[in-house]
Structure 1
Amino acid sequence: MKRFSFLGALALSLTILLSACGASNTVKGGGIGAGAGGALGAGIGAIIGGGKGAAWGAGIGAVVGGSAGAIIGNKMDKQKKELEAINGAQVESINDGQAIKVTFESGILFATNSSTLNTASQSALSSFASSLISNPDTDVSIYGHTDNTGNDAINNPLSEKRAQAVYSFLASKGVKGSRMQSQGFGSTQPVADNSTSQGRAQNRRVEVYILPNEKMIQDAQQGK
C-alpha cells in the first residue's frame, strides 16, 4: 500500500479549471488545455474541507495542450460509461473530465464496524477491476471514510482498513499494486449531515479516483 500527503497549494490552481458543466469529458478536456494551459499538479491534490470531501488534482505533473486534453477526456468518457454499468457504484467526472470519481457506500461494501467485504460488493469490485485492467494507463487512489459515530481511535483505523480491503481485493483480481494507493480519513471528510441516520450512511463510504498516468499524458500529446 502506498501512502501520500496533502498538497494544499494545488487546489487554488485547479479552481479556475472547473467550468463547462454539462459538457462531455472530451469537450471539457479540450477546454482545460486551451483555456488554462492544462496545468495539472504533481501528486494527489489536496482534500478540500468544508464538509465536501472532494479530492482535487490528477497526480501527473504534466502540462496538457488543448488537443491532448480532448484525447484524455475522450478516454475517460469511455471508461466512465463502462463503470456506470456496475451496480452500487456512483460514477462522476471530476477535474473537468480528466479524471473519474467512483463512490461505494459502506452498506454495499461492508457490514457495520467491519472491514470485511461482503459478497455483493465483491461482485461489483470484480467488474470494477476488469475495467481498470482493460484501461491500464491510469492511476487509482482509494479513500476510506466513516461517519462521526465513535472516536478517532476507532474511526481512523477502520477507514484505513476499509480502503486497504478494496486495494487488496483489486490487487487479487489482477490490478497492479504499483498503480494504486490507499488511505483512510476517518470522519474528517463528511459529505452529508452526521446528525441524521441518512447523512451518516452517506458518510460511511469508499471513494476511488481514476487518474490519467504519465503514459496517457505522453500518448495524448503525441496524438494517440
Structure 2
Amino acid sequence: MNKLKMSFLTILCSAFFISGCASWNKTQKGAAVGTVAGGAAGAVIGRASDNTALGAIIGAAAGGAAGAVIGRQMDKQAEEIEKSVPDAKVERVGEGIVVEFSSNILFGFDESNLSQDAKKNLDKLVVVLESYADTNIEIQGHTDSKGSEAYNQNLSEQRARMVSRYLSANGVAYSRLNVKGFGETAPRYENDTANGRAQNRRVEFLITANEKMKAEAEKEASN
C-alpha cells in the first residue's frame, strides 16, 4: 500500500471512530466496520490504539450486509458465553467477540500451567465454541510491566500456547486456533497501580468469522 493510500485509510478510520458510531447498535457496527476498513485498516487501528483485539477483529471483518448477518450470529454467541462462563469478561466488537480472562483465573502467580479452576472455566467455553464451529479463535497472552520485557514476552506466549493446547485437546479443532503473545506491550489498563497490573495480566480470546461463515453470510445477505 503506497503512502497516499495509507494516509487516506488512517484518516478514514479515525473519522469512523470519532463520529457518532458509538450510538450504533452492534449489528450496524458489524455492517460498517468491514466496509470502511478491511484487513489493512485493522492493522492500522490496532497499532494506533494499542488495542490488539480491536485491530485483529476489524482486520477480519467481512463488512456490508454480510457483516450485519455475522454480527447477529456473534450477538447470540456472546450471550451464550456470558451465561456459560460468568468468570469471563465478554465484549462484542464489530463482527467479533473478545473474551477476556484475568490470568489469576487461569494461572497461578508467575506460572503457565493451568489450574483446576481454569480447566473448569475453559471446559464451559469449549461447549459454546464447539456450537459455533465456523469461527476462528486467536488466543492472546498479555502481562503487566513488572519484570524484564523478554521474560514477560516469553510468559505471555507460554500461557497462550497452554490455553490453545487445552482447547485443542478438548474438542476445538486445532485449525481454528492461532496463538500470539504480546508480553507487556499492549496494556489495556494502567500499570502504575496494583489493580491495573492485575488486570493487564490476562488472556484474551478473539472470535471472528471464518471463510465459510463469511460465504454463507454473503449468500444470506444477497437473498
**TM-score relative to the length of structure 2:** 0.82
The separation in 1 between residues aligned to 2:115 and 2:23, in whole angstroms, is: 35
Partner of 1:26: 27
Query: What is the DSSP-based 3-state SS (H/G/I as helix, E as strand, rest coil) of the residue aligned with 2:220?
Result: coil
- Structure 1 residue 193, shift from structure 2 partner: 1.9
Report percent identity of matched pairs: 38
Q: Deviations over 1:154-205 (max 9, x none)?
A: 2111110100111011111111111111111111111222221111101100
Whether 2:108 is the aligned partner of 1:111: answer yes
Q: Name the SS for the 2:56 alignment partner.
A: coil
What's the offset of the Cα at 1:90?
A: 0.4
* CA distance in 1 between partners of 2:172 and 2:26 (Å): 24
| Helix, strand or coil at the partner of 1:84 | helix
Q: 1:199–1:133: structure 2 CA closer, same or farther, 3 Å change rule?
A: same
Flag as ranges the 4+ runs of structure 1 deviating above 6 A: 59-62
Which is worse superposed, 147-156 or 164-173? 147-156
Q: Distance in 2 between matches of 1:210 and 1:43?
A: 18
Q: CA deviation at 1:23?
A: 4.0
| Structure 1 residue 54, shift from structure 2 partner | 4.5
The structure richer in helix per residue is 2
CA distance in 2, matches of 1:80, 1:188: 27
The answer (yes or no) to whether the contact 1:43–1:57 under 8 Å persists in 2 is no
C-alpha distance 199-51 of structure 1, shift in aligned 2 (>3 A): farther
Give the number of equivalent residue pairs: 210
Is 2:53–2:206's contact at 8 Å kept on the other side of the alignment? no
> What's 2:153 paired with?
156
Q: Which amino acid aligns with 2:193?
A: T
TM-score by length of 1: 0.82
- Structure 1 window deviating more from structure 2 (67-76 vs 105-114): it is 67-76
Pick one of 62, 72, 75 that aligns with 1:74.
Answer: 72
1:218 aligns with 2:219: no
Measured on the aligned residues, the alpha-carbon RMSD in Å equals 2.7
Give me the whole-angstrom Cα distance separating, in 2, the residues matched to 1:61 and 1:42: 10
Q: Which runs of 5+ in 2 are unaligned?
A: 1-5
